[in-house]
Amino acid sequence: MTTVREKIKKNPEITFAKKEDVAVSPDLLAKMNVIIPPIYYWQDVVSGKSELMTMAFVMFGRNFGMSYPIEDDNAVKIDMLRKKLFWVVRESLDVLLHHGEKVLDIFGNIDPKKVNDEEALRFKYDTRWMMKVAAFNKLVRIAPITKEKAVELGLLDKPKVAF
């Protein structure tokens, strides 16, 4: 059995941060494209200055999303926050897309314990797991909109979950 260190010595092009290029069949891409909702992105602008960035999506008739305050005019910091916000919201969409409502708690929020249990089962028994993850990563998109459009789409409505 060869160790990781030996594999790296034999092939120095191996890196751990490198994304794997998984071949995804066009039929799987087409099937998943139909059910992946866009992630909407908008900023709250007050007196010509952005104060809040928000990303949200609609799934199962509910709104899921997150907002970060914009406290600085530093474009690099704002870009880093936007990317961080995207990854958090993208992970929520990924979990809901692959596991459905069974990962939600009684209040309609994503329950991390249920997610861990479902991900373990999916990893062990789903033979197309890597292809589905790769297809999701290729198909997930951000749709920039205005706050007015977000209101029109109902993304700012109060939760409709009965407590």
In a domain, 5, yes or no: no
pLDDT of residue 14: 43
pLDDT of residue 113: 94
Q: Is the pLDDT reported for residue 18 higher than 50?
A: no
* Mean pLDDT on 36-52: 88
In a domain, 12, yes or no: no
More reliable by pLDDT, 10 or 102: 102
Percent of the chain with pLDDT over 90: 23
For residue 43, the enclosing domain spans: 20-153
pLDDT of residue 163: 40
In sequence order, what are the beta bridge partners of 52?
44, 69
In a domain, 14, yes or no: no
Degrees to nearest 5, angle at CA 43 with 39 and 46: 160
Angle at which helices 75-99 and 129-139 pack, to 10 degrees?
A: 140
pLDDT of residue 17: 42
Give the global pTM: 0.72
More reliable by pLDDT, 112 or 137: 112
In a domain, 85, yes or no: yes
> For the chain, what is the domain count?
1
Q: Is the pLDDT reported for residue 33 higher than 60?
A: no
pLDDT of residue 9: 56
